[in-house]
Amino acid sequence: MKLAPRDASAYFKRPDTSAAGCLIYGEDPVRVGQKRQDLLANLLGPNAEEEMRLTRIAAADLRSDHAALLDAVKAVGFFPGPRAVLVEGATDGLAPVFKDALADWAQGDAQIIATAQRLTAKSALRKLFEGAKTAYCAAIYDDPPGRAEIEEMLRAAEVGQVDREAANDLDALARALAPGDFRQMIDKLGLYKRGDDTPVSPADLDAVAPLSREAELDDILHAAAEADSGAIGPILKRLSAQGVAPVTLCISALRHFRALHAAACHPKGAAAGLAAQRPPVFGPRRDRLMRQLNRWGRPQLEQALSLLVETDLTLRSSTAAPQMAVMERALIRLAMLPNRRGR
């Protein structure tokens, strides 16, 4: 029986305990793995592994021993409760094995849960489960989690209210992050907000979101963008002691000022430009970048990009001058550019 996406979500929450099993397939193995984990948890309940009510069989083993699946399905468990046999990485070549197991399945047998990568409409394995009256087939698509799925994750992590701005940031993060990273971030948010009844804010998300860069590297880029030339030298010394290469620093500066330039050029304004970036900019970082954009005009940002491109070429082609000194000079020149706005 083929499950539509909405029906599949309901099925994973409340599995049909009288069914013979389910095939879960999709291009993203992380998403497929998450749905398989949810299905087994809701189907078997807690302690299934410890009570030996879940049997795992590698797809490769079934190729050499076709009877292994049916034997595991018919085996009598020592502990009471529902049982399941999990086959990961199933392929069309195993369709006859699953066909025999489904044909011989009876009430009281272990359910057959199989996972697979992308299957075409002509797939023999997919056709088998879609056509079975006692089994289900669920396709997992690469669409980012919707608002309902995000709310379900938040409830599972025991996260309470979320304010409107943070909810919009969560939608953006769901589109930008890998599924596993997003779910891990939600779990971290649950731990971070434990005992705190206030609504989740963008600052809370900023505290648990995956870090894209080192903090001190961000500090020196912010110093240059905020015309704080006095802070550049000390931070640069610490970065140099940590082994950060001048070319790496230049590339990071280029990325930062390109993001500012893209936001400044957005037809709907700088705030919309920051919201449209990937990964999304939110929380205190978004507020800080907005303050930087208020200092910079598009001409100054274009001058900054030209300066950084020129510096990058110098660092890659010349060994005459100390490279860190060249980078420090470029950052100080960047810090002075906003002061020339309007001249």
pLDDT digits (tens, 9 = 90+) for 157-186: 899 899 988 888 888 788 777 777 888 899
CB 226 within 8 A of CB 220: no
Residues in the chain: 343
213 pLDDT more than 50: no
**CB burial string 77-105: b at 16+ within 10 A, e below:** eeeeebbbbbbbebbbebbebbeebbeeb
Torsion sign (Cα): 27, 33, 39, 44: positive
More confident residue, 80 or 304: 304
Q: Which residue has tokens 């069989």? A: 57
Q: 321 versus 56: which is more confidently predicted?
A: 56
Is the per-residue pLDDT at 58 higher than 80? Answer: yes
Task: Provide the pLDDT for residue 211.
Answer: 58
Contacts of 213-222 with CB under 8 Å at 24 or more apart are 213/252, 216/242, 217/244, 217/249, 217/252, 220/249, 220/331, 221/252, 221/253, 221/256, 222/288, 222/292
Q: How confident is the model at residue 216 (pLDDT cuts 50, 70, 90)?
A: low
Query: Comparing 103 with 214, which gets the higher pLDDT?
Result: 103
Q: Residue 49: how many CB atoms within 10 A of its CB?
A: 11
Say whether pLDDT at 225 is over 60: yes
Q: Is 70 exceeded by the pLDDT of residue 215? A: no
Helices 283-295 + 215-225 axis angle, to 10? 30
Angle at 47 between CA 44 and CA 48, to 5 degrees: 45
Q: Maximum distance among all alpha carbons in the chain? A: 84
